[in-house]
Structure 1
Amino acid sequence: MSSAPEPLNPVLNVHGMVAELVLNAPDRKNALSLAAWERIPSVLRKLAAVPDVRVCVVRGEGGKSFCAGADISEFEAIRSTKDSALRYDEINVAAFNALKSLDVPVIASIEGPCLGGGLGLALACDMRIASRTAFFGIPAARLGLAYPPEALSDLLEAVSSSNAKRILFTGDRFNAEDALQMGLINETVSPADLQERVTALCDTIISNAPLSMRASKQAVNEMSMRDASNPGTHRQNAQNCIESADYREGCRAFLEKRLPEFAGT
């Protein structure tokens, strides 16, 4: 007997004027495989054929997790060389840009883990509403990774450079209250109130002029863009991390559920 096909991840649902991008791997805390990252832009392009949509919500399936990040179990197979890591980063950035370039406002509805690439997705949204169960972090330093400048620019739009460094240097996890104080999220609500609050925010947006929403989003995005002083250097540094023994050790330690032993090589 053949096994059941893998469920589509993510999936797009449309309910009247509200679209939902649902991260659909609850058994893995909605972690995203490479195939899932690749699917995000093509799924979102379908919204162009649904002109009545006024707002998009990004959430995780299952009611317990937003997104635990990239599926690290794949890394040794698909992100182990400079070229494959560069391609992986480009696919990640394309997913973030697909959210940022949507004509309509995008709201991240966050509960449980919002980590690594999952936090990157949330930061690519226009607003972030989080349950008090939510927690946040970027564990790149624990894996021997460095994020590309395009991914970090959204972090720097949300928090101060000092808090960005705190998040990146420590690899720590921050609760919803800490995230609110830093600016990672816009609001925190009780778990029972998350859906109601997101629905109310959608209703408010829908009641406003669509052309005004589109013009405002485009103007704010363009005016807030940061020009990295030397993106070539940042990309080279990220590639050096991928080629390091520390990166291989970080991935092995994660999969073996132990602390990594980094040597700086």
Structure 2
Amino acid sequence: MSDAELTVTVTGPVATVVIRNSARRNAMTPGMWRQLPVLLDGLEADRAVRALVLTGADGTFCAGADLGDLDELLEAGDGSIAVAAEERLAAFAKPTVAAIEGACVGGGCQLAVACDLRLATADARFGVPPARLGLVYPAPTTRRLAGLVGPSAAKHLLFTSELVDADRALRIGLVDEVLPADALAARVDAVTTAVAERSQLTVTAAKEIIDGRADDARIAWWHGQVRASGEAREGVAAVNGRRPPRFTWTPPAAG
């Protein structure tokens, strides 16, 4: 029986999704790719969840995708279940943090880049290997990678398929912070706690705008939410009163 699965825990306002596939260094199987959007739908609908952490079990983030059914992969192209899962993760309405140890390669790197923030241990290694396999990296994935690290660094990763260490990943902008292995969990907790304590109106609007998903009408709607919600008045009052703010805005229910 395979132990390949994604598991979810929710602690306070933070959900953690763990990639587990011990036999394959946490490679993503077809079932896991299909499972991820379903999990994300449920966590996005849970108003108690304010941030999401994606990580791997047993000191490895994710060593790639299971390429067992090559014919299916070639037929799907950019319509693959891996791209669908990546796009759902990128569109997740709440902040996402990839907590990366060990290998972050192929499909693992694809998922990490789809997160908002990436925190890595010093032993993490990153690679994008389609040139070793004769595959064309999906267009949405390629554009997201280039948007994060720039065209030259993206070309280096794609052209050479070389693994890069955490220090180089930090220099090119592939990760945001590099930490000792024993400090990663505490730093991820600190970041997600800070995010969860901030105005969710600010955080949600910022993610939409930065990701290019808010047109002029939507931006005007966000400013209307600021006026109607009282979030800004509460924030200023908290600063002036030297007390923690009591932000209460939550996203309107879908539909």
Q: Work out whether the TM-score is over 0.5.
A: yes
Post-superposition offset of 1:6: 3.1
Task: Name the counterpart of 2:225.
Answer: none
2:166 equivalent to 1:176 = yes
2:60 is paired with a residue of what secondary structure? coil
Residue 65 (structure 2) aligned to one of 53, 64, 70: 70
Larger Rg: 2
1:42 partnered with 2:30: no
Q: Kindly, what percent of the aligned residue pairs are identical?
A: 36
Cα distance in 2 for residues equivalent to 1:22 and 1:206: 20
The Cα offsets for residues 73-107 of structure 1, whole Å up to 9 and x where unpaired, read as x144643xx42x337x4311211111111121000
Cα deviation for residue 48 of structure 1 reads 3.4
Answering whether residue 135 of structure 2 is matched by residue 145 of structure 1, we say: yes
Q: How does 1:150-169 map to 2 (within 5 A)?
A: 150-169=140-159
Structure 2 residue 23 is the aligned partner of structure 1 residue 32: no
CA spacing shift, 1:8–1:116, aligned 2, 3 Å: closer
Amino acid across the alignment from 2:24: R
Please say if residues 12 and 44 of structure 1, whose CA atoms lie closer than 8 Å, have aligned partners that are also in contact.
Answer: no
Question: Structure 1: which amino acid aligns with 2:157?
Answer: I
Distance (Å, rounded) in 1 between the aligned partners of 2:91 and 2:3: 26
Partner in structure 1 of residue 223 of structure 2? none
Partner secondary structure for residue 13 of structure 1: strand
CA distance in 2, matches of 1:203, 1:86: 38
Could you list the runs of 5+ residues in structure 2 that have no partner in the other structure?
A: 215-255
Question: Unaligned stretches of 5+ in structure 1?
Answer: 225-265
**1:10 is paired with a residue of what secondary structure?**
strand
Q: Does 1:100 align with 2:95?
A: no
Q: What residue in structure 2 maps to residue 54 of structure 1?
A: 50
**Which TM-score applies when normalising by structure 2?**
0.80
What corresponds to 2:17 in structure 1?
21
Q: Report if the CA contact (8 A) 2:64-2:104 is conserved.
A: yes
Is the CA contact 1:26–1:65 (under 8 Å) kept in the aligned structure 2?
no
Structure 1 residues 29 and 185, CA gap change in structure 2 (3 angstroms): same
Match for residue 186 of structure 1 among 152, 172, 176: 176
The aligned residue for residue 250 of structure 2 is: none
Q: CA deviation at 1:8?
A: 5.5
Deviations 1:39-79 (A, max 9, x none): 110111111342111100000011x200001013x144643
Looking at structure 1, the residues matched to 157 and 44 of structure 2 have their Cα atoms a distance apart, in angstroms, of: 35
112, 115, 124: which one aligns with 2:114:
124
Q: Kindly report structure 1 stretches of 4+ aligned residues shifted beyond 2 Å.
A: 5-8, 75-79
Asked if structure 1 preserves the Cα contact closer than 8 Å seen for 2:166 and 2:178, the reply is: yes
Query: Which of 1 and 2 has higher RCO (CA within 8 Å, sep 6+)?
Result: 1
CA separation in 1, counterparts of 2:137 and 2:4? 27
